[in-house]
Amino acid sequence: MFNKKQESAKPQFEKFDTLIGKATVIEGTIKTEEPLRVDGSVQGEIISKADLIIGESGRIKGNIACQNLLLAGRVEGNISAGGQLHITATGTLQGDASIRSFIVDEQGTFDGKCQMVQDSTSQGSSSVTEPSQQQDSSSRQGGASRRNR
């Protein structure tokens, strides 16, 4: 009605369908439509139409596309999230981020560029961009940037 924002899907970080445990190492691409939690290591892309949680022991070397991301571990790669990226105090991102909403807790680490994207037009669909469409993190310039509009 009166200046009411379209309500985005809230992150559901406490619920997940699949767990990659601490002692697990995966090489290759992971594609899922359900929430995923990673406490182990992944070398490759993660593409999810749902929320992604990277626990404190989680280590990702590769690009990520998801709806919402809670980062408590370490990511070396670019992130595309149709919703929220939340880097906790133990989280580290070395790469660029294309996101709608961004939260960095005190002591959280972000080394890269950030591009804020508009709200998705449909509530139920994910507006994530496949990692292969993103700029390779090795060709990026260091440092963080802000959108000034």
- Residues with Cβ within 8 Å of 79's Cβ and at least 6 positions away in sequence, in order, are 63, 64, 65, 66, 69, 85, 93, 95, 96, 97, 98, 99
93-109: average pLDDT = 97
Q: Give residue-wise pLDDT tens across range 10-63.
A: 666 667 778 999 999 999 999 999 999 999 999 999 999 999 999 999 999 999
In this prediction, residue 5 carries a pLDDT of 45
CA atoms 135, 111, 73, 66: torsion sign: negative
State yes or no: pLDDT of 100 exceeds 50: yes
Separation in Å, CA 110 to CA 34, 88, 92, 113: 26, 11, 6, 9
In this prediction, residue 104 carries a pLDDT of 97
In this prediction, residue 123 carries a pLDDT of 39
Answer for the pair 77, 85: CB distance below 8 angstroms, yes or no: no
pLDDT band at 118 (very low <50, low <70, confident <90, very high): confident
In this prediction, residue 25 carries a pLDDT of 97
State yes or no: pLDDT of 140 exceeds 60: no
Report the predicted TM-score, pTM, of the whole model to 2 decimal places: 0.74
In this prediction, residue 9 carries a pLDDT of 57
Answer for the pair 17, 34: CB distance below 8 angstroms, yes or no: yes
